[in-house]
Amino acid sequence: MASSLNYSSAWQLLVATMLSAQSQDRQVNVVTKKLFRDHGDIPDYASMKPSELYNYTKSIGLYRGKSKNIILSAKRIMSDFNGKVPSTIKELESLPGVGRKTANVVQYNWFGKSEGIAIDTHCITVCNRLGLAKSTNPAKIEKIMMQITERKDWGNVTHLFIALGRDVCTARAKHCERCVLKSMCPSSTVKI
């Protein structure tokens, strides 16, 4: 999920992931290239005014809310976490604007741990077509996927399903003829 976002610290990954909600990673990378060049680490953001951050983020959907949450998260990290991005899902989720998906992404991609599986819209589509879930609720799908996969694979599960959902099993069209799962998928349009 975060593999196509550019970052070089836990904080930068958190910011990029927060900005990427319902937005293209490509556009987020354009924005963060300038943002991360001009603004260093967490204390810098904690003292920013929203309007200052808007100058960078305004090409991103929902930029006002996202920018405010980034600043509030920076303040919270300075006051409650000794200036360091926390590593547990519970702590990450306590930051303003950080939901379970973002928390899972940061935990796996920066800290190399997995307390859960990040579920995005691609994962929801693929899981339902594969017959693994009959739900659009990310929390329910995460629970199911945690039961049927091994913990050591949780981070990769997200990446694989996102790659499949982006390139092959997209919301608009199923390209089953070039899908590696076509022989086992109940929704496949290819007769084996």
The answer for residues whose C-beta is within 8 angstroms of residue 173's C-beta and 6 or more apart is none
Q: Is 160 in the site for ligand SF4 (CB under 6 A)?
A: no
Please identify, among the stretches 50-58, 64-72, 151-159, 168-176, the one whose residues bind ligand SF4 according to the rule CB under 6 A: 168-176
x-marked contacts with ligand SF4 along 111-150 as a string, rule CB under 6 A: ---------------x--xx--------------------
According to CB under 6 A, which one of 54, 92, 188, 192 is a site residue for ligand SF4?
A: 188
| Residues designated catalytic | 101, 120
Q: Is 181 in the site for ligand SF4 (CB under 6 A)?
A: yes
Please identify, among the stretches 17-25, 97-105, 151-159, 181-189, the one whose residues bind ligand SF4 according to the rule CB under 6 A: 181-189
According to CB under 6 A, which one of 66, 101, 122, 174 is a site residue for ligand SF4?
A: 174
- Looking at the Cβ atoms of 89 and 117, the one nearer to ligand SF4 is 117
According to CB under 6 A, which one of 63, 182, 191, 192 is a site residue for ligand SF4?
A: 182
The answer for residues whose C-beta is within 8 angstroms of residue 81's C-beta and 6 or more apart is 91
Distance from C-alpha of 135 to C-alpha of 99, rounded to nearest angstrom: 19
Distance from C-alpha of 127 to C-alpha of 136, rounded to nearest angstrom: 9
Amino acid (1-letter code) at residue 175: H
Q: Is 176 in the site for ligand SF4 (CB under 6 A)?
A: yes
**Smallest distance from the beta carbon of 127 to ligand SF4, in angstroms?**
9
**Smallest distance from the beta carbon of 158 to ligand SF4, in angstroms?**
16
Count residues binding ligand SF4 (CB under 6 A): 14
Angle ∠(25,128,121) on CA atoms, nearest 5: 20
Cβ atoms of residues 77 and 95 within 8 Å = yes
The answer for residues whose C-beta is within 8 angstroms of residue 22's C-beta and 6 or more apart is 61, 62
Ordered alpha helix ranges (H), the chain:
10-20, 25-38, 42-46, 50-57, 63-80, 89-93, 100-111, 121-129, 138-148, 154-167
State the residues that interact with ligand SF4 by CB under 6 A: 126, 129-130, 168-169, 174-176, 179, 181-182, 185, 187-188
